[in-house]
Structure 1
């Protein structure tokens, strides 16, 4: 068993939980990334952009800081020493997947961070249902891609 990876996952989970709790306690906001970014891009609410920009910069700067300090991003690609590789299904598939995720977050009124992290912690019935749908769709998609289409990804 790789204890390093387990410890990194545990620390990452604790940091995500603390961050979500801090955002709720200080600003009364849910740490749903699709809502934070979506409202920043589409609605641009007055006086409500600074914390959203800071949140997004934190998402981007964290991995960059880790790499600058000599760390790696874990097992994100199949090649040792690489940081980010080619999309597994190609660029077109990645773009299609991004569009489908965007549509899904719109239909589900949120994303995995909003429903899966914050909603489950609040025992929200809607978030419990949404997270079940997210997981079910993910399992179904992996099965189709690996066993029906034969992508082996």
Structure 2
């Protein structure tokens, strides 16, 4: 395995910004950040609909603004079919419902509150992710 882009300073700064965003979101909204929960509430709940929309729009607009204000290239290529991606997205949605949240909710907000459920979920996500990479590299 070769680590090409090892950038601990940028990783620390990025993690600090994510932590600050969680605190700001909680202070102003009284809720924790979890992407699947916010997306689900945007689609199904009438409460905080505009806040949820702004959060989701920020996730989409953020990389566009980054690209606009920097000279770095953002190259994305999708090599699978639309139907395969749609099924994968639905499975992720079902998994987040079964798991009571997604990686962002458990890994950022839940672990920050020392939630045992979130700590176990995040450890599980990490182990499965590592095993997936290892298996993919073997094949």
- What TM-score comes out, normalization by structure 2 length? 0.84
Give the deviation of 1:145 after TM superposition: 2.6
Give the deviation of 1:131 after TM superposition: 0.8
Matched, 1:127 2:96: no
Matched, 1:98 2:89: yes
Matched, 1:52 2:52: yes
What does residue 31 of structure 2 align with? 29
CA displacement, residues 52-80 of structure 1 (integer Å, 9 cap, x when unaligned): 011111111111001111343xxxxxxxx
Give the deviation of 1:23 after TM superposition: 1.1
Unaligned segments of structure 2, at least 5 residues: none
Unaligned segments of structure 1, at least 5 residues: 73-80
| 4+ residue runs over 4 A deviation | 1-4
Q: Which has the bigger relative contact order, CA under 8 A and spacing at least 6?
A: 2
Once structures 1 and 2 are overlaid, which stretch shifts more, 50-59 or 98-107?
A: 98-107
Secondary structure of 2:45's match?
coil
Give the deviation of 1:25 after TM superposition: 1.6
Please state which structure has a larger fraction of its residues in helix. Answer: 2
How many aligned residue pairs are there? 136
Matched, 1:8 2:10: yes
- What TM-score comes out, normalization by structure 1 length? 0.77
